[in-house]
Amino acid sequence: MNAAEPGRAAAPPLRWRRTTPPQRAVLLAAALGWMLDAFDVMLYALVLAELMRHFGMRAATAGLLNTLTLAASALGSLLFGYWADRRGRRRMLELSILTYSVCSFLCGLAPTLLWLGVCRFLLGLGMGGEWNTGAALVAETWPAAWRGRALGMVQSSWAVGYALAAAAAGLALPLWGWRGVFFLGVLPALAVFWIRRHAPESPAWLAANRPPAPEAIAASRPQPASRHRLVAMGLRLRGHYGDLAALLGMNTFGMFAWWGLFTWMPAFLELPAARGGRGFSLISTVGLLVVLNLAGMLPGYLLFGWFADRVGRKKTLLVYLLCAAAMAPAFALARGEAAMLAAGVLLAFFGTGFFTGSAIVGSELFPTAARATALGATYNVARGLSALAPLLIGGWAGKKGLGAALSVCGLAYLLAALCVLPLPETRGRAL
């Protein structure tokens, strides 16, 4: 049976050998871009304690710099998405990778905080553009029966990129300092050469942008104004405004918790107890972060889909978010490497893995005519709102201590779980 054949209840099992070379190349290109996105973006968190010492930064200022990155990522997803619809998915994927790679290198040259802040903002533009363009390229190349699992594999590559960043920082920081760590961030630009040579453009985009025949041009009618298209889109979402608000709330609170925790986690582990940290050595910090990514985040992403197919999307989301709500304060209050490792792995598993559910549920909630718009709005607006997390956590850390500030992220996960309650169960829903 063809993997994309409609009308069948059960999807065929995914077999790598049954996929086509273009499908495999596109999946690897998008996963590589997302993995290297994580590599570059998380380098800042990994050298944050060193940056605070070098520039004499307060916690609030350090948080503000990452807030700029997240705010720019929301803008970048819209800009790159707009141009990907007009210039091609692969071309914008390449440009987004070049943007965050070059800007990461420029961070290593920063003589002042203003320079660093501008470079982090520009890096965020590329960060935001990569996921939109890569996900669209995969979704339009892979058949419907395997599309969810393909996107899940792409999503899970973030954990690999974060683990590689932690390992690279652990090796480069003692040798070359924080500037050398940022210089390593230019390496992802090399991936563009592979993508340009091996990854094809989306066939759906090529078909949609094929020059029309002369008779079609003569018979074409003027396109409606943008205002009319927006009204039409709003009408297509009529009856789904509650779902739209609930998914936006879940993403906003979930992202607030994630960025609040994982922006500050390396500094929390490395800073001395007098400054609210745990005083771990660089080697211990790097080792713990690598384990958290590979033993927590990676299986958390992949297993969410397995659980969701068996017990339902809504139940799985609630379990993941409630467990994350419990593990955030447990991690923040834990002492000793063993206790922090155990709490951290569970926190990474549940507190990161739920993001797989956002794409699954969102795809099944909204009508086809407005699905991409609704998914983009709930994700991009949430990312813009959650940009306040590093700044607020840094401000609270200056008053209550970093451990107490990180505990607040448990409340954000709990609020995300409450936003799931009004959502319907969508398992088995035909698109």
Query: So where are the chain's domains?
Result: 21-207, 230-431
408, 345 Cβ separation under 8 angstroms: no
Q: Do domains 21-207 and 230-431 have the same CATH topology?
A: yes
Q: What is the largest CA-CA distance in the chain?
A: 76
The residues near 164 (Cβ < 8 Å, ≥ 6 apart) are: 35, 39
Q: Give the Cα separation of 431 and 429 in Å (integer).
A: 6
Under 8 Å between Cβ of 267 and 282: no
Helix ranges (DSSP H) in 185-240? 191-198, 203-208, 214-219, 226-236
Measure the CA–CA gap between 112 and 416, rounded to whole angstroms.
Answer: 37
What pLDDT shows up at residue 239? 66
Confirm if 297 and 348 have CB atoms less than 8 A apart: yes
Residue 366 φ/ψ, nearest 5 degrees: -105, 150
What is the token pair recorded at 356?
A: 């797989």
| Proportion of the chain in helix, strand, coil states, percent, rounded to 5 | 80, 0, 20
> What b/e readout covers 402-414, taking b as 16+ CB neighbours within 10 angstroms?
bbebbbbbbebbb
Residue bearing tokens 């500050």:
264
Tokens of 179: 């500037």
pLDDT at 228: 52
Residue that is written with structure tokens 């590599």 in the block: 39
* Contact yes or no for 405/393 (Cβ under 8 A): yes
Closest by CA to 101, choosing from 151, 175, 172, 43, is 43
Specify the pLDDT at position 314. 92
Hey, how many other C-beta atoms are within 10 angstroms of the C-beta on 149?
A: 17
* The Cα angle at residue 373 between residues 372 and 379, in degrees rounded to 5: 90
**pLDDT value of position 5:** 37
Closest Cα to residue 261, out of 312, 331, 206, 204? Answer: 331
CATH class, domain 230-431, is: mainly alpha
The C-alpha atoms of residue 407 and residue 329 are separated, in whole angstroms, by 4
Residues in the chain: 431
- Residue 93: exposed, middle, or buried by beta-carbon count in 10 A (0-12, 13-18, 19+)? buried
pLDDT in tens, the chain (431 residues): 334 333 334 455 666 667 788 888 888 888 888 888 888 888 988 888 899 889 988 888 888 888 888 888 888 877 877 777 777 788 888 898 999 999 999 999 999 999 999 999 999 888 877 877 777 777 778 776 666 677 778 888 888 898 899 888 888 999 999 999 999 999 888 888 888 888 888 777 777 776 655 554 444 455 444 455 545 556 556 667 888 899 999 999 999 999 899 888 888 888 787 777 788 888 888 888 889 988 999 999 888 877 887 788 899 999 999 999 999 999 999 888 889 999 999 999 999 999 888 877 876 787 755 665 666 677 777 888 888 888 888 888 878 888 888 999 999 999 999 999 999 988 777 65
Within a 10 A sphere around the Cβ of 81, how many other Cβ atoms?
A: 21
Q: Is 193 exposed, middle or buried (0-12, 13-18, 19+ CB in 10 A)?
A: exposed
Residue from 255, 178, 193 nearest 409 by CA: 255
Which residues are within 8 A (CB) of 323 and not within 5 positions of it... i.e. 6 or more apart? 346, 350
| Residue given tokens 């920081």 in the structure block | 173
Going by C-beta distance under 8 Å and a sequence separation of 6 or more, which residues neighbour residue 311?
A: none
pTM of the model: 0.77
Looking at domain 21-207, its CATH class is: mainly alpha
